[in-house]
Amino acid sequence: MQLSDVPTPARRWVARGLVLVLVAGLVAPAATDAATYDPSSEETTLQRGEIERPANGTTVISVQGFKFAGEGNEKKPSRIVGVGPRGEVEWVHTGLGNGPSWFYDVDPLANGNVLIVSIVANQTTLVYEFDPVANETVWRQQLDARDTHDVDLINGDQLLVANMRDVNGTTGEEGAGLFVYDMGRDEVVWEFLFRNHYPEDVGGAYGKHTPYGWSHVNDVDKVANGSYLASPRNFDQVILVNRSRNEISLRLGRDENHDVVYEQHNPEYLEGVDGRPAILVADSANDRVVEYALEDGEWVRTWTLGTGRNLTWPRDADRLPNGNTLVTDTNNHRVIEVTPSGEVVWEFYAPWGTYEAERMAHGDEPGGPTIAEQNATGAYEVTGSAGLAPGTGARLSFADWVAVAFAGTPLREQAAWVATRWSHVAPWVRPVWMTPWGFVYAIAAGVVLVAWAGAEAVLARRRLVGGAASLVRRGRDAGADLVRERRGD
């Protein structure tokens, strides 16, 4: 007996049964994840990774955390973490009492305290000095700036602010840029507005209320007196601003040229012994860290870290005095110290969404030797990780599988795009109790169910249309009966 001999209604029920078996099989991994979930598992706790060499003192890590509709997620918390030389947790600051929704920049201060940049519930910026030993806030300053990622303390009592947008106004784009706020005088004493130096058609959508804004400037550092390094992320470039002339004196990259940098974060200005400028930057959307040196007026890439898929949306990179680089690997929820050749010598996992890390002993932006000075120019993968989270070790993540499966095929570019988008988005929306592959299977089950429902609707379209028409007729007849009744017909 062949399937074609089976009556059509029976064939449909056989097909439905097969679909149900497929969906059950796809949902099974997620169900297993839920049944075996351990709150102390690797993806929800702070823990050491590979520690080949103890760090020089405490590493302070800013964990952005995840929130939705203004509310924080207790399973994906925001926090500031102090980590000891061998990966031991020394202290954790959650911001309770100050009211932050999540954290961004954290800078070591000379007195042993840290300067913290946070966002409160209404998305305004809160900056405060925190004493981790006494576990108390020394001072705090509210700024009329929205979703600010970086503020530095300069000149004693002034705040250098990377102003993504103002709180006032519909979009706040008019105020996007840099400014210096003098806390003693309670006033802005200098301002650099991007709209005076860039046309509105670069970057994001100018004048529209979007989550990412126009410039999305995410970092600013004082390089020297009157010289500030800034990172307007959506412009795909790093700029050096001269304060006295109020102009851009140096520029790396340009809008939409993603080969140089693509939605970068937290650049660091370096200078070789010969005085040649270099810029080390977390090239976030390209999933790598890069260093460029200025040679004969042209920027030349001298170092690339992350030639495979072992970095995912890195958002900070600092050159340490020993020549190694401290990298904040955001979507892999870890901080790693790597040698110039990419070998991990220190690693710590801090879910969810690490944003920045600093070595307390070296202060903010330590500025060690350039790659050229270390004779280590080239491109390197990250090696030697403990691999405690998917994507950081030898285990293939779904994004890795997609990229590998389609490598060498005509669809390789499209597959690479899908893999990158997935690796950037999935960590934020995946439940903590569900493994990455369980999440993939659950989504596949949802797709199958939607397709099944669509097929059932198509097959039953005549009955559905007839039923709808019948309801319309009944309603029309009932209305006519009501009218006749009121008329006394």
Strand partners for 316 = 328
- Is residue 463 classed as helix, strand or coil in its secondary structure? helix
- pLDDT greater than 80 at residue 207: no
Show the tokens assigned to 150: 């970086």
Mean pLDDT for 452-478 is: 67
d(CA 421, CA 436): 14
CB distance 165 to 235 below 8 Å: no
Task: Say which residue, 188 or 484, is predicted with more confidence.
Answer: 188
Spatial CA neighbour of 334 closest among 58, 38, 83, 39: 83
d(CA 153, CA 166): 20
Mean pLDDT for 13-18 is: 79
- Pairing of the two strands 59-63 and 354-359: antiparallel
| 208, burial (CB in 10 Å: exposed 0-12, middle 13-18, buried 19+) | exposed
Q: What is the CATH number of domain 47-380?
A: 2.120.10.80
Q: 80-135: per-residue pLDDT in tens? A: 999 999 999 999 998 766 666 789 999 999 999 999 999 886 678 999 999 999 99
Amino acid in the structure at residue 238 = V
Q: 310-357: per-residue pLDDT in tens? A: 899 999 999 999 999 999 999 999 999 999 999 999 999 999 899 999
Task: Say which residue, 381 or 2, is predicted with more confidence.
Answer: 381
Least confident of 238-252, 287-301, 434-448: 434-448
- The CA distances from residue 230 to 25, 46, 399, in Å, are 50, 31, 31
Mean pLDDT of the chain: 87
d(CA 193, CA 175): 6
- The CA distances from residue 328 to 60, 287, 289, 421, in Å, are 11, 11, 10, 19
User: Measured at the alpha carbon of residue 167, what is the angle toward residues 191 and 126, in degrees to the nearest 5?
Assistant: 85
- pLDDT greater than 70 at residue 487: no
For the ranges 71-85, 148-162, 452-466, the maximum mean pLDDT occurs at 148-162
- pLDDT greater than 70 at residue 48: yes
d(CA 71, CA 90): 27
Mean pLDDT for 176-200 is: 95
Percent of the chain with pLDDT over 90: 53
The pTM of the full predicted model, rounded to 2 decimals, is: 0.88
Amino acid 365: pLDDT: 81
CB distance 106 to 117 below 8 Å: yes
d(CA 345, CA 353): 21
User: Measured at the alpha carbon of residue 152, what is the angle toward residues 225 and 104, in degrees to the nearest 5?
Assistant: 150
d(CA 399, CA 402): 5
Residues sharing a CB contact under 8 Å with residue 362, sequence separation 6 or more, in sequence order: 56, 108, 318, 320, 321
- pLDDT greater than 80 at residue 457: no
- pLDDT greater than 80 at residue 212: no
For the ranges 63-77, 243-257, 467-481, the maximum mean pLDDT occurs at 243-257
Mean pLDDT for 252-273 is: 94
CB distance 382 to 306 below 8 Å: yes
- pLDDT greater than 70 at residue 366: yes
Q: 406-433: per-residue pLDDT in tens? A: 888 998 888 888 888 888 888 888 888 8
- pLDDT greater than 80 at residue 478: no
> SS3 string of 146-210?
ECCCCEEEECCCEEEEEECCECCCCCCHHHCEEEEEECCCCEEEEEEEHHHCCCCCCCCCCCCCC
Amino acid 477: pLDDT: 62
- pLDDT greater than 60 at residue 182: yes
Spatial CA neighbour of 63 closest among 41, 92, 87: 92
d(CA 481, CA 388): 72
Give just the sign of the alpha carbon dihedral 274, 240, 259, 394: positive
Mean pLDDT for 378-405 is: 86
Show the tokens assigned to 268: 């660091």
Amino acid 66: pLDDT: 80
Question: pLDDT tier at 33 (50, 70, 90 boundaries)?
Answer: confident
- pLDDT greater than 70 at residue 8: no
Task: Say which residue, 55 or 124, is predicted with more confidence.
Answer: 55
CB distance 164 to 145 below 8 Å: yes
d(CA 39, CA 147): 31
Percent of the chain with pLDDT over 70: 85
Question: pLDDT tier at 301 (50, 70, 90 boundaries)?
Answer: very high
Amino acid 489: pLDDT: 57
